[in-house]
Amino acid sequence: MTSPFIEIADLTWRPAGSDRLTLDLRGTSISVPAGGLLLVSGVSGAGKSTLLRAIAGLLGTVLPGELSGRLQVGGVDLVAAARTESGIPRALSERLGYVAAGPAPTYALPLLVDDAALPLESRQTPADDMRSRIERSARDAAVDVALIDRSLTTFSGGERAAAAALVALVASPDLLVADEPLSGLDARSAERLATTLRESSATRVIAAHDLSLLGSATAQHLRLDGGAVAATAAVPAPAPDWSTMQSAAGGGAPILQLVRATAAGRDVGPSSLAVMRGTTTLITGDTGSGKSTLLHLIAGTLVVDTGDRIAAPNLRIRFAPQDSGLLLGARPARALVTPSDAARAELLAQRLDVAHLLDATPGRLSDGERRRLSIVVTLAAAPDVLILDEPSGGLDDERVTALCELLSDQALLDGSAVVIATHDPRLSTLSRPDARPLRRVRHPEETGSSVEQTEGGLVALLPAPAARVAESAERLLSPELGRRLIGTANPLTRLGLALFWFALSIASPATPVAQAAIALPVLVVAWISGVQILATLQLALALTPALAGIVLANLFGGASVEEAVGAGARLLAFAAGSLVLLRPFEPLRMADALIEKLRAPFAPTMALLATAARIPTLRDEARERRALRRLTRRGVDPLLLADMFDSVIRAVPQLAIALEVRGVRLPTRTSPPTRRRPSRFGRADLLIVGLSVGGLLVSVARAVAEAILAA
Amino acid sequence: MKRSWGLMDLVTVATIGIASGVLFAGWNLVWGAASPLFAAVLPLQYLLFAGTWVIAGPLAGLIVRRPGAALAGEMIAASVSFLLASQWSVDAIFSGAAQGIGAELAFAAVGYRVAGWRVALVAGALSGAGMALHDLPLYFPDVSTSFAVALVAAMVASSAIIGGIGALLLRAALRRSGALDLIGA
């Protein structure tokens, strides 16, 4: 008889900074044979995610805390590793695929194709095989193949969940650990992914609330409650059928209406929807059909681009987003409730069983607990329009029932219009006979037509003749022409040139002519190397105060006009390198160049550049958080800087885990990774180096001429 | 404590560096715009403003207590400020290196074991010393001795208070909100 793949006995986990065990399996032992399936269920906050992270080797190694008891996975003693290793032990890391629980982003790199290539690169898969393996996993994980080359930042919650499964499956792991892999998926995608998971030959550990799709005859089932085991075998209850959901006619007059509305920057067709007082609207639709965008349009947290949003004056709108972290942020839920609503919040919290968590730090709570708190916060204000995005995600059946009662409570939400986007068939209990009128709307069929692409950018804002001029100017100024002709210069070349320009500017005298002779070629070089002129101008504008500052400072300091302008010109020459040579900002091309050409170590370089690639996402999240906070009118933060650092530090564990489970620590210097995007030097590099040398020659010639004239 | 760097440490230092770098880039512009006001009293401008530019080193060193964290944090921040917008171009990176080495020395001196207010203060002050060593020869080659002394004093004092103690206060705020529990600092 072979030994089991996973052996757990008396396992406990106490996270750093906490004095209670969040996982307590004392007196329980579990063993899973190779190729077996362990299903884990339990109420929200019961410790499902903790157990899965333990099995994936993340506890004590990546995540700080104390692990004790017995945990042996694939022949590796993970309790011992928790004390000595600062990452998943190599022997396990090579064989692991891990799906982290959403809805917060769980990817490591912004483009799905890069993110999926990372585990393959770490495991030395030949670059030629990567594409086919990614496409095969896409089919298995119910990801549309067309999405592979798109940015994960544009994905909906459900698409992200499917993409996370794709990345976990792509390297054909021996051990697959998946935390709520079906959450947020529509029925068809969920069925497809569940089939893949059921039929996989890997040893699988899957946590889910709805086990009906995943159950099989050989599966073991573990039910957790409050960090301890409640039962080790139970028959999963079948989920209610979509067809049992009832529709009811709406009541009341519309208080908010969208008319063929679209949002800028979202690839979603125009939507029309009226929202009535005293009515609940349940919006369903496929994964990625734009439900969240529709909700944001209703809430007014996304600006309507085309079409109309008509709202009654002084509406009190509250929005609980899919990622409750965005609403709650760093402070306890109570801080988000206005004092006059405090009693109501208390009552609501009791009904959702989170009264004891109102003063807790959200970062320490489970996903389900945070979701319930965000619902308490939004409902406490007795809003005219209540908007909930996937309110039941991560909640067990009992809690969903409590939530449904709350939402169909006439007294509680008497005059409110409730809008809910969901995939969850359990919310069908909203339609019980004594409930408020319920309306089911399927997006996009019943709210709008298919996607219509419109011309975006600057051109769309201008009248027709001006638009034509602007269009041709944009074409002339755009780097596309240069890029097509000569390609884009290697980031290393551009960095080297920035150093060169700086040295040249320092060595040259601070006169307007000498410094301008440096700044001008830099701008030409920049354009050729593929810089967006408009973005550069914007930044140059931002530098204007500094430029004026240094000129004025020199004048006040008693310098002559020529000296002052010269100092300004030098600043321009300095800044030109900073402004343009490293734009467009391409952290991943930089990572490729550093790893390949300079033999930079894989894991630190990837960690640094993956963090850098997160900047736009963090900026968008900050914007969304601000918009949501504005709705609650509790938007002002006394300590802005601490708040900024707080939100970025909170994103750290997720990214560290994402990189860890993709195996970026696997490659060594002796076995470097195989790059999906080889870093090359080409014509563009030759050209900009040539131009720079030309600039140097001009400067030298000028200096020589001046010396001769002076003599 | 485990001695080797894990991904959590790497991502934390990168994150602190990048967030500080965004702060620095904004500060560069503020500095530039404020220059005319302080043209006659340059040391005063250094005293009031310069310390912000060294906060990344002490902060990274205080949160991730590993060799190299302070230096890496300050250098990443400086590089990001260069990439975003800096009137000092690539020199921002060299300044960052000089300041980061200063902060690193303070943490190395206590073997990366202690991270209280004394270490923070010294890390900030040494960052200021690094700033002085880098800035004086490059930007103030022929100033009078008394002016140079005033500048150095302003740089060190500003860095110790804004950079060192500021980083300590920031860490205290992060600790209160529970953000540091998640990363084990």
For the segment A399-428, what is each residue's pLDDT rounded down to a tens digit?
A: 888 888 888 776 677 678 888 888 887 776
- Would the pLDDT of B107 be above 70? yes
- Would the pLDDT of A237 be above 50? no
Mean pLDDT of the A165-169 span: 95
The model's confidence at residue B42, banded by pLDDT at 50, 70 and 90, is: confident
Q: Which residue has the higher pLDDT, A308 or A41?
A: A41
CB < 8 Å to B27, chain A: none
The three-class DSSP label of residue A21 is: coil
- Would the pLDDT of B79 be above 50? yes
Q: Which residue has the higher pLDDT, A551 or A617?
A: A551
Mean pLDDT of the B41-48 span: 89
Q: Can you count the helices (H) and strands (E) in chain A?
A: 24, 18
> How far apart are the CA of A556 and the nearest CA of chain B, in angstroms?
6
Q: Could you identify the residue written with the tokens 């690539």? A: B90
A577 and A527 Cβ atoms separated by less than 8 Å: no
Among candidate residues A226, A188, A258, the one with its CA nearest the CA of residue A47: A226
The predicted structure's pLDDT at residue A633: 58
Mean pLDDT of the A68-73 span: 94
The predicted structure's pLDDT at residue A67: 94
Kindly tell me the burial class for residue A476, based on how many C-beta atoms sit within 10 Å of its own C-beta (0-12, 13-18, 19 or more): exposed
**Cβ B8–A652 below 8 Å, yes or no?**
yes
Considering only the beta carbons, identify the residue of A505, A608, A655 that sits closest to B76.
A608
The predicted structure's pLDDT at residue A250: 39
Share of chain A above pLDDT 70, in %: 81
The model's confidence at residue B84, banded by pLDDT at 50, 70 and 90, is: confident
- Would the pLDDT of A151 be above 70? yes
Q: Where are the alpha helices (DSSP H) in chain B?
A: 7-34, 42-49, 56-63, 69-84, 91-109, 117-139, 145-158, 166-176, 179-183
Among candidate residues B79, B120, B84, the one with its CA nearest the CA of residue B96: B79
The predicted structure's pLDDT at residue A409: 76
Considering only the beta carbons, identify the residue of B6, B173, B182 that sits closest to A86.
B6
Instruction: Mark residue A637 as left, alpha or beta (left: phi above 0; alpha: psi -120 to 50; beta: remaining).
Output: beta
Average of per-residue pLDDT values in chain B:
89
The predicted structure's pLDDT at residue B67: 93
Q: What is the pLDDT of residues A495-525, one digit of tens each?
A: 888 888 888 887 877 777 777 777 777 777 6
Mean pLDDT of the A170-195 span: 91
Average of per-residue pLDDT values in chain A:
79
- Would the pLDDT of A22 be above 90? no
CB < 8 Å to B39, chain A: 552-557
- Terminal-to-terminal C-alpha distance of chain B: 11
The predicted structure's pLDDT at residue A41: 86
Mean pLDDT of the A60-64 span: 91
**Cβ A641–B80 below 8 Å, yes or no?**
no
What the block records as the tokens of A100 is: 């982290």
- Would the pLDDT of A454 be above 60? no
What the block records as the tokens of B46 is: 């250094």
Q: Which residue has the higher pLDDT, B122 or A318?
A: B122
Which residues face A633 on adjacent strands?
Answer: none
Pairing of strands A385-389, A317-320: parallel
Q: Which range among A166-180, A372-386, B48-62 shows the weakest confidence by mean pLDDT?
A: A372-386
The predicted structure's pLDDT at residue B47: 92
How far is residue A156 from each of residues A190, A292, A619, B164, measured CA to CA in Å?
Answer: 15, 7, 18, 42
Give the chain B residue nearest A505 (alpha carbons): B89
**Cβ A611–B35 below 8 Å, yes or no?**
no
A25 and A178 Cβ atoms separated by less than 8 Å: no
Considering only the beta carbons, identify the residue of A543, A611, A651 that sits closest to B85.
A543
ipTM value:
0.91
Give the chain A residue nearest B38 (alpha carbons): A553
**Cβ B9–A86 below 8 Å, yes or no?**
yes
Q: Which residue has the higher pLDDT, A131 or A327?
A: A131
What the block records as the tokens of B138 is: 């490059």
Q: Could you identify the residue written with the tokens 């007196």? A: A27
**Cβ B33–A84 below 8 Å, yes or no?**
no
Highest mean pLDDT among A433-437, A608-612, A703-707, B105-109: B105-109
**Cβ A646–B90 below 8 Å, yes or no?**
no
The model's confidence at residue A234, banded by pLDDT at 50, 70 and 90, is: very low
Give the chain B residue nearest A538 (alpha carbons): B85
B53 and B82 Cβ atoms separated by less than 8 Å: no
Mean pLDDT of the A663-683 span: 80
The predicted structure's pLDDT at residue A89: 93
Q: What is the pLDDT of residues A457-484, one digit of tens each?
A: 444 445 566 666 666 666 665 556 666 6
The model's confidence at residue B16, banded by pLDDT at 50, 70 and 90, is: very high
Mean pLDDT of the A625-637 span: 65
> How far apart are the CA of B110 and the nearest CA of chain A, in angstroms?
23
The rounded distance, in Å, linking the Cα atoms of A707 and A64 is: 66
Mean pLDDT of the A347-365 span: 84
The predicted structure's pLDDT at residue A329: 73
Mean pLDDT of the A612-635 span: 73
CB < 8 Å to A603, chain B: 7, 10
Considering only the beta carbons, identify the residue of A549, A582, A603 that sits closest to B33.
A549
Kindly tell me the burial class for residue B26, based on how many C-beta atoms sit within 10 Å of its own C-beta (0-12, 13-18, 19 or more): middle
> How far apart are the CA of B85 and the nearest CA of chain A, in angstroms?
6
Q: Which range among A174-183, A433-442, A646-655 shows the weakest confidence by mean pLDDT?
A: A433-442
Q: Which range among A523-537, A541-555, B149-163 shows the weakest confidence by mean pLDDT?
A: A523-537
What the block records as the tokens of A230 is: 């409640």
Mean pLDDT of the B5-33 span: 90
The predicted structure's pLDDT at residue A455: 38
- Would the pLDDT of A574 be above 90? no
Q: Where are the alpha helices (DSSP H) in A38-93?
A: 48-55, 78-84, 90-93
Pairing of strands A271-276, A254-261: antiparallel
Q: Where are the domains of chain A?
A: 463-585+684-710
Q: What is the pLDDT of residues A241-283, one digit of tens each?
A: 322 222 333 345 678 888 777 877 676 677 778 887 777 888 8
A39 and A221 Cβ atoms separated by less than 8 Å: yes
> How far apart are the CA of A315 and the nearest CA of chain B, in angstroms?
33
**Cβ A547–B32 below 8 Å, yes or no?**
yes
CB < 8 Å to A63, chain B: 8, 182, 184
Q: Which range among A155-159, A248-252, A337-341, A483-487 shows the weakest confidence by mean pLDDT?
A: A248-252
Considering only the beta carbons, identify the residue of B34, B87, B179 that sits closest to A543.
B87
Which residues face A259 on adjacent strands?
Answer: A308
Q: What is the pLDDT of residues A83-133, one digit of tens each?
A: 998 899 999 999 999 999 877 778 998 889 999 999 998 888 888 889 999
Considering only the beta carbons, identify the residue of B32, B40, B85 that sits closest to A550.
B32
**Cβ A62–B10 below 8 Å, yes or no?**
no
Considering only the beta carbons, identify the residue of A87, A364, A502 that sits closest to B90.
A502
The three-class DSSP label of residue A422 is: coil
Share of chain B above pLDDT 90, in %: 59
The model's confidence at residue A293, banded by pLDDT at 50, 70 and 90, is: confident
Across A454-579, the runs of DSSP E, i.e. the strands, are none
Q: Can you count the helices (H) and strands (E) in chain B?
A: 9, 0
Contacting residues for A652 by C-beta, under 8 A, at least 6 apart: B8, B11, B12, B15, B182, B183
Share of chain A above pLDDT 90, in %: 19
